[in-house]
Amino acid sequence: MNSEQSKEKSSEQPPKPTKPLTRFITDDDNCWMLKEYQDLGGYDGLKHALTLSHAAVLDEIKASNLRGRGGAGFPTGLKWSFVPQGDDAPRPKYMIVNADEMEPGAFKDRLLLEKTPHQIIEGLIIGGYTLDADIGYIFIRGDYYTAIQHLEIALKECYDNNLLGKDILGSGFNFEIHIHTSAGRYICGEETALINALEGKRATPRAKPPFPQVAGLWGKPTIVNNVETFCNLPHILNFGADWFKSLGRFKDSGTKIFGVSGRVKNPGLWELPMGTPIGEIIENYAGGMSDGYKLKGYLPGGGSTDFLLEKHFDTPMDYDEIGKQRSRMGTGTIIVLDDKYCPVAMVLNLVKFFAQESCGWCTPCREGLPWAAVLLEKIEQGKGELSDIKQLEDLCKFAAPGNTFCALAPGAVEPLQSALNYFRDDFEQHIEQKSCPYCVQSHLEEEHDK
Amino acid sequence: MTNKVTIFIEDLPYQVPDDINLLQACLSLNMDVSYFCWHPAMGSVGACRQCAVMQYQNEEDTRGRLVMSCMTPVSEGMRISFNHEKSETFRATNIEAIMTNHPHDCPVCEEGGDCHLQDMTLISGHIKRRYPGTKRTHNNQYLGPFLNHEMNRCIGCYRCVRFYRDYCGGNDLNVFSSKNNIYFGRAEPGNLENEFSGNLAEVCPTGVFTDKPFSQHYIRKWDLQSSSSICSHCSVGCNTYVTERGGIIRKINNRYNEEINGHFLCDRGRFAYQHVNHESKLTQIWSRAKQNYQQKNQSQQTHVLDDKQAHSQLSQWLNEADAQVVGIGSARSSIENNAALHKLVGASNFYAGIASDELSQLQLLIKTYKSNQLSLVSLNDIEQSDAVLLVGEDVTQTAPRLALSIRQMTKNAGIAKAAKMGIKHWQDEAVRNISQDEKSPLIIINTHETKLADVAKHNLNLAPNKQLELLLEIEAYLTAKDAETHLSEKKSSDTQFSDIAITIANELLAANNPVVVTGTHSFDIALLSACLRVSILLKNQKESSGFYCATSAINALGLSLLTQPDHDLDSLIENITSNPPTLLIIMETDLYRYYSNEKITTCLDKINHIVVIEQLITDTVKMADLVLPAASFAEQHGSWLNNEARLQRAYAVMPASDMRQTPVQWLAQHNTLDDEQNLYRYIQNISPLLRPIVQSSTANKSDFSVARQPMRSSARTAFFANIDVKEYAPKRDEKSNLTFSMEGVAGFRQETLNNSQHKITTPVTGVWSPKWNSNQALSKSLSQTLNKSGVQDEADLGIDLNLDLNLGLKIFDGLNMQAFEIPAAQVDSPSQPLISISICPQHHIYTNDELSEYSSSIAELTPEPVISLNQKQANDLAIKSGENLTITSNNYNISLPCLINNTLADKVVLVPFTEFMRLGANKQVSSNHSAGKANGDANE
Amino acid sequence: MTLHNEIPTNQTVALSDVEKAQIDKLLLETPYTSGASIDALKIIQSHRGWVSDASLLALSLYLNLPLGDLDSVATFYNLIFRQPVGKVVLHPCDGISCDLMGGQKIRLCLNKQLKITNGQTTDDNQFTLIPLPCLGACDKAPVMIANEILFELIQEEGLPLILNNLREGVSK
Ligand SMILES: Cc1cc2nc3c(=O)[nH]c(=O)nc-3n(C[C@H](O)[C@H](O)[C@H](O)COP(=O)(O)O)c2cc1C
Ligand code: SF4
Ligand code: FES
């Protein structure tokens, strides 16, 4: 029914966009500001939402099949439907934008944060309205200075223009938004750890159940979603669920910001339909490998996803399809490994990162990852033994999903376990020739870590 | 109500209670499931991952998935496997990972042989170390006299902070840093401030926090001799294991008693034992030539007598022609000892070593308890209750373990809230996140803020007369409510009550099982009777409401049962002044703690013969003509009546050393109670209430004897092998069926399960279970208390150790009601000068009882004596913080620096408890500055 | 932005009025004081460059939160410095995308040019070197953050200039 309504409306509007998320990003340096945003139709989605009932907005979001863009791809509408509604629901209810982006190789949220703060805020207000929430938080990585600055100004603009605060746009809906800048730890991105951080605690994840939707921040109903997830909401409200579904090229709906980093000709970010094949992104958009480099493998969705190879190029960037290839969509930011960089070193870098960022709560992560890092370092330095590979495999099984308290450690071993699978020769070569076959040089000058 | 569900383990069905988690269920079925972060009293958080098992969807499911058993509720028909290779490998890898940074320093570790980590390592199958890296190292901290800190042994289970912070409310222990660098300690080195810190030695599954006094006279667990005892340092009566070797008490461990202390002791109870090892303990019989009483204090010839000489001396004094013999019984001595003295001197000459203010309170309590108008609750009942009114007693200082239970009570509202969301009470972290600041109401009425203030809903700091006024108001309001409900007459008379009285009363009425908690330490009988009346009124409205009153010493209530009205210390001293006896026998009471030096010395100087039966050289001992060395709590069997009138029996852990004997033995020849049966018959005669004591004396007699030493002692005589190569015959214990050797049945009964495995059920002398050497073996026997409904009796080896294993006997339970009306309390008429200042006692966990301070670790922590008052009061008295304030009374005065405490009520000053006692009646503040001169009396 | 870095001291310090005002504002937004602790620590650090024991104590007294609670939180997070840092903190990225593009070389180069290892501060108290993981600018790798500025596509040859500019930016 909602799609009907939006169809009617659309007759007066320009053709529906195919790249909704980036449609506000123009060459104008000020494109992130309120006036520019509104000139291009910003806050229309919110205005439309405010004319509907809470339940109707939720139905529309459910109908759109929007899946969370933070990594796990959980259906957003379904997640929201667990929040208690009605007059006797606990209050206040919280809505949180997860803008912590610290996943290695992920840089998509930064673009949205810097260039379209209002799109995020609009999404957040819509979310707030949908669930009749009271307070919104934007939990943002502390190093994103420009983004923080833009968000602060954007929020002020909203308060000045009755887009936030009491009785928003005369609808009777009250909502406020605060920004929290993170003090820096990857685990803060995990939604329950994030909630602990907002409570001023150590960011260790919480036991579930209870899920945050029921008892989250300060024990109250709380929703945490990724920046990009929120960015989709204004458009779904504006152009309808059917339109949103039609955007995807495969099963999943909508578009997504995909990115490529590593030795490619043209690293960067592009908004593309869900289901765009991986090869197309790497070859067409990123321009293929830089001269003199060959593709060895890639992590399709950031540093905590399993390696895939060239032979998987046809796989659509769709949650379930990538899953079938035993990797994950993750953040949709591809990290390309070239033939001149040592895969062991790459995995070592990642495992060290995850070991460093472990919150220290559960054993497999806290003790298992540093153990894996020790073994990888040993191998990389040419001091490895064949039994070390067995130990690494054991550790991958050890930190598998379900075995740990949260998804950090299972994510951490994904690149490792797939590297052991696809690049086993490289590991064995290190051990046999007692040195790294890639760059003998890097051992001459080792970084001095304190 | 717990129901049972059937779960399938390796395809075999088992019945388990439905409200527990899978880990607890498996342990209770005697499976060796390894775990670290779970604790029976603290619930589950799922951090260590050591308790993983496989769970299957249904019979067809062959893949299964790994779950943490501690985080998984049991449910009907659930299927799990413990032996599946995947879970076995996981547990083995997990412990291997845990051990990567562990120093492997078991030979020099106090935990060695009593270490959960050692047990779990072997149980989980980690026997070969593969980790090739270097270990992270930490610096250790000084944490005060009770605990050692060895952070390198840490395995990151988070139990310590969960216990210290979430369970005890401490905030000076925390976790720092992150990843594999986590550090558990204080922000800065220093004394741990919480009164329950000592439990960390038991809570920590490895050797990070170990018992410091123990490590100063360290012995491996298997070389210790131990027995069941009752803590004698306050009126709560916690259950302990006392451990010994070579006549030296080595350490006190908690002994699980689900009604009282559960898993935890306070630091006084754990560390105060050192008086038994003290250099000034009495081991010989001393006598002094009777010359000039006035000079007795001064240097005089002291003789050492032998047993025979001592008895003939005593007998001579007892049988003098004009002999007038008076005895002072002791609140810290057993019922048997007091009864023996009672018999010797006769009821009318038997005085309790208790000041009059307290004895009258105790006797009021007994009359009320007999009348059966209120329910005496246990600490466990308090933990389960949902509202507490705590009046006039700083329980953290006077009955510390009680404070810990009250703290747990406040969590029940949060637990109930979580339960509504389907979260089980043992889901510790989830419950905390859900409850946030939701608390069951704790209402504290006191003169100042106490350590429970942080969890209290209302903290009312009032002068004693104001406290009483408020209680009387609550009483009146409840009476009105009572009339409403019973006579259904609606009176809208709420206006006559203050808001706070109404709030408190309604808070209590809204609860399902509210408890009124108070104590005798305010020495205010009016306040106590008001509390009793409020509690009775409450019970009229709510059948399940309860009452708890802390008293001054372990046997205060028991002693007052034997004592005639007004036979307290004060009247004794008065009598002595006018009509001195010829012989005064003082048993285990240091009179100098209760009276000024001058007063007591003059009084004692009037007496011809003074006999003191005591364990240590106290000031009173110095006045004795004959000193009979008494066995300590660790060297005697005895029955104790705690403040909830629960009769419990303690067993000696070692034979009495040198010439020491129990007071009963000293007196037996002279009072015709040389036969135990006679003694118990006599006790029953003085107080029929104490009838169950007979059971306790016969219950433990049987054909079998039980070994106090573990079977693991390498040989029977090896126990002394560190002292002498001679092989000594073990001493005999005539009074119980415990042996001072490893001969006899092992000190725990085994129950045969249907899977033909054995499990311990009744630890008598310590906890042990196959493969489980540490005290955590207890978790495997807890099932017994989980399903109270009677697992306790099978596989009986013929030993009836009922009184050991059960929870003691509450002597007022099931008694026929004896009508008694508590006299109504009244607020003193306003004729009192308004400026009067109340002088109240300040209690302290480490100075309140007679023997604690003999422990060097405790002495380190005793505070400097000060007088506390609020700033306004200080201004009125024109005195500054740190300046001396003088307080005088009839024949004593003290001058101590004052300390500003702004939580103190107006018109109240606090003086240290012992000084308060010595000051006696007519206390007044005398300021150096006449402007502020004011006077008052604490307990008008 | 210029940091007036607090000199290591054992003496007690008092919070400035500005700090107090900023913290008071935080307290208005959170239902429980503890909710303000991380932001408050960041405020202290923004004024003093790092969080000394003394300022931690001052904050603990001001917020009426136990010292240990604040330190437990402070030591958990990467961006709260419990040790003094130089006037400029250099955060070269050590994330994987930067390393694939030669990030490690840049960091080695910084080690050499500043004569310090990671985590250390130069003798002149000018620079502290604290590599951070993935700074979210992987398409511009290798990158570094310093003085709230993101330096992209860094080349070895460009480092002296960057350092010089930062040095001057500070003394200005
Ligand atoms: C270790 C870890 C780090 C994460 N970091 C982020 C992050 O930086 N940003 C994010 O949006 N989600 C992150 N997530 C996922 C969140 O937990 C959560 O699933 C997500 O914010 C939900 O939003 P979505 O449904 O919109 O994807 C992380 C998860 C884990 C386990
Ligand atoms: S996997 Fe465990 S230790 Fe690692 S971040 Fe999650 S909860 Fe913390
Ligand atoms: S005991 Fe279950 S995870 Fe620690």
Which residue in B110, A255, A214, A379 sits closest to A206, CA to CA? Answer: A214
pLDDT along chain A (450 residues), means of 10: 45 78 95 96 96 96 96 95 95 97 96 97 98 97 96 98 97 96 96 97 95 96 98 97 96 97 97 97 97 97 97 97 96 96 97 97 97 97 96 97 96 98 97 87 46
A110, A182, A200 ranked by CB distance to C36: nearest: A200
Which residue in B635, B615, B528, B625 sits closest to B242, CA to CA? Answer: B635
Cα of B159 vs centre of ligand 2, distance in Å, is: 17
Decide if pLDDT at B791 tops 90: no
User: Do the Cβ atoms of B177 and C71 come within 8 Å?
Assistant: no
> How far does the CA of residue C93 sit from the closest CA of chain B (Å)?
20
Say what the pLDDT of residue B744 is.
Answer: 75
Residue B292 one-letter amino acid: N
**In terms of CA atoms, which chain C residue is nearest residue B188?**
C68
β partners of residue A337: A297
ipTM of the prediction: 0.94
As a whole number of angstroms, the distance between CA B594 and CA B110 comes to 40
Give Cβ neighbours of residue A292 (< 8 Å, ≥ 6 apart): none
Judged by a CB distance cut-off of 8 A, whether residue C71 touches chain B is yes
Instruction: Provide the 10 A C-beta neighbour count for residue A47.
Output: 16
Q: Which residue has the tokens 């990467």?
A: C78
Decide if pLDDT at B799 tops 60: no
State whether the Cα torsion C58-C61-C62-C65 is positive or negative: positive
Atom of ligand 1 nearest to the CA of A69: 27
Interface of B with C in 179-198 (CB under 8 A): 186-188
> How far does the CA of residue B436 sit from the closest CA of chain C (Å)?
10
As a whole number of angstroms, the distance between CA A128 and CA B119 comes to 52
Say what the pLDDT of residue B807 is.
Answer: 64
Q: Which residue has the tokens 């048997």?
A: B336
In a mutational test of the pocket of ligand 2, which residue from A100, A406, A413 has the highest number of ligand atoms less than 8 Å from its CB?
A406
Cα of A224 vs centre of ligand 1, distance in Å, is: 8
> Is residue B425 classed as helix, strand or coil in its secondary structure?
coil
- pLDDT-wise least confident of B98-112, B676-690, C57-71: B676-690
Q: Which residue did the predictor score with more confidence, B625 or B734?
A: B625
Q: Which tokens hold the place of B531?
A: 């509390």
As a whole number of angstroms, the distance between CA B530 and CA B544 comes to 19
CB B234 within 8 A of CB B398: yes
Q: Which residue has the tokens 């009922």?
A: B802
Mean pLDDT value across residues C39-61: 95
Query: How are beta strands A255-262 and A268-273 bridged, if at all?
Result: antiparallel
Give Cβ neighbours of residue B462 (< 8 Å, ≥ 6 apart): B445, B446, B447, B470, B905
Say what the pLDDT of residue A10 is.
Answer: 45
A363, A394, A403 ranked by CB distance to B98: nearest: A363
CB B414 within 8 A of CB B439: yes
> Is residue B720 classed as helix, strand or coil in its secondary structure?
helix
Cα of B467 vs centre of ligand 1, distance in Å, is: 55
Which residue in B664, B759, B16 sits closest to B333, CA to CA? Answer: B664
User: Do the Cβ atoms of C72 and B174 come within 8 Å?
Assistant: yes
Atom of ligand 3 nearest to the CA of B157: 4
Per-residue confidence band for C171, with pLDDT thresholds at 50, 70 and 90: very low
User: Do the Cβ atoms of B71 and A207 come within 8 Å?
Assistant: yes
> Is residue B146 classed as helix, strand or coil in its secondary structure?
coil
Q: What is the mean pLDDT of chain B?
A: 88
Q: What percent of chain B has pLDDT over 70?
A: 87
Decide if pLDDT at C170 tops 70: no
C32, C68, C75 ranked by CB distance to B172: nearest: C68
Cα of B159 vs centre of ligand 1, distance in Å, is: 28
Instruction: Provide the 10 A C-beta neighbour count for residue B59.
Output: 10
Which residue in A20, A99, A15, A3 sits closest to A274, CA to CA? Answer: A20
Atom of ligand 2 nearest to the CA of A406: 6
Does any ligand 2 atom lie closer than 6 A to the CB of residue A203? no
Ligand 1 is surrounded, with C-beta below 6 A, by A 68-72, 74, 76, 98, 100-103, 186-187, 189-191, 224-226, 229, 406-408
Mean pLDDT value across residues C108-137: 94
Range picked from A39-53, B215-229, B879-893 for highest mean pLDDT:
A39-53
Q: How far is CA B889 from CA A25, A148, B569, B606, B914, in A?
A: 86, 69, 18, 23, 14
Cα of A98 vs centre of ligand 3, distance in Å, is: 30
Q: Give the Cα-Cα-Cα angle C137, C140, C144 (nearest 5 degrees).
A: 65
Residue B798 one-letter amino acid: G
Q: Which residue has the tokens 């038991």?
A: B202
As a whole number of angstroms, the distance between CA A256 and CA A248 comes to 9
Which residue in B704, B621, B729 sits closest to B278, CA to CA? Answer: B621
B59 backbone dihedrals φ, ψ, rounded to 5°: -65, -30
User: Do the Cβ atoms of B176 and C75 come within 8 Å?
Assistant: yes
CB B413 within 8 A of CB A219: no
User: Do the Cβ atoms of B49 and A359 come within 8 Å?
Assistant: no
> Is residue B773 classed as helix, strand or coil in its secondary structure?
coil
> Is residue A385 classed as helix, strand or coil in its secondary structure?
coil
Say what the pLDDT of residue B751 is.
Answer: 52
Which residue in B12, B11, B35 sits closest to B22, CA to CA? Answer: B35
User: Do the Cβ atoms of B178 and A358 come within 8 Å?
Assistant: yes
Give the residue numbers in B contacting A (CB under 8 Å), as ranges: 45-50, 52, 65-67, 71, 89-90, 93-94, 97-98, 100-101, 130-133, 156, 158, 175, 177-182, 418, 421-423, 427, 429-430, 433-436, 438
Contacts of A358 in chain B (CB under 8 A): 178-180
Chain centroid to CA A61: how far? Answer: 19
CB B765 within 8 A of CB B226: yes
As a whole number of angstroms, the distance between CA B211 and CA B219 comes to 12
Per-residue confidence band for B787, with pLDDT thresholds at 50, 70 and 90: very low
Per-residue confidence band for B825, with pLDDT thresholds at 50, 70 and 90: confident
Q: Which residue did the predictor score with more confidence, B833 or B90?
A: B90
As a whole number of angstroms, the distance between CA B328 and CA B801 comes to 33
Cα of B94 vs centre of ligand 1, distance in Å, is: 26
User: Do the Cβ atoms of B176 and C32 come within 8 Å?
Assistant: no
As a whole number of angstroms, the distance between CA B221 and CA B773 comes to 9
Decide if pLDDT at B86 tops 50: yes
Query: How are beta strands B248-254 and B514-519 bridged, if at all?
Result: unpaired
User: Do the Cβ atoms of A183 and C118 come within 8 Å?
Assistant: no
Longest pairwise C-alpha distance within chain C: 51
Decide if pLDDT at B856 tops 80: yes
Mean pLDDT value across residues C26-47: 95
CB A259 within 8 A of CB A268: yes
User: In chain C, count of helices (H) and strands (E)?
Assistant: 7, 4
Say what the pLDDT of residue B779 is.
Answer: 79
Taking phi over 0 as left and psi of -120 to 50 as alpha, with beta for the rest, B89 belongs to alpha
Mean pLDDT value across residues B864-882: 94
Contacts of A338 in chain C (CB under 8 A): 100
Cα of A189 vs centre of ligand 1, distance in Å, is: 5
Say what the pLDDT of residue B616 is.
Answer: 95
User: Do the Cβ atoms of C71 and B176 come within 8 Å?
Assistant: yes
User: Do the Cβ atoms of A363 and B47 come within 8 Å?
Assistant: yes
Report DSSP letters for A411-445, one per residue. HHHHHHHHHHHHSHHHHHHHHHTTS-SS-THHHHS
Decide if pLDDT at B289 tops 60: yes
Q: How far is CA C7 from CA B434, B691, C71, C127, C162, in A?
A: 43, 74, 19, 15, 26
Say what the pLDDT of residue B829 is.
Answer: 56
Instruction: Provide the 10 A C-beta neighbour count for residue B752.
Output: 12
**In terms of CA atoms, which chain A residue is nearest residue B179?**
A360
The ligand with the least distance to the CA atom of A361 is 2
User: For the whole model, what pTM was predicted?
Assistant: 0.93
CB B549 within 8 A of CB B365: yes
Query: How are beta strands B706-707 and B738-739 bridged, if at all?
Result: parallel
Does any ligand 3 atom lie closer than 6 A to the CB of residue B35? yes
Query: How are beta strands B758-760 and B626-629 bridged, if at all?
Result: unpaired
Per-residue confidence band for B721, with pLDDT thresholds at 50, 70 and 90: low
Q: Which residue has the tokens 């673009």?
A: A111
In a mutational test of the pocket of ligand 3, which residue from B42, B48, B158, B159 has the highest number of ligand atoms less than 8 Å from its CB?
B48
User: Do the Cβ atoms of A206 and B430 come within 8 Å?
Assistant: yes
- Residues B349-367 pLDDT 10s: 999 999 999 999 999 999 9
CB B569 within 8 A of CB B353: yes
Mean pLDDT value across residues C115-123: 95
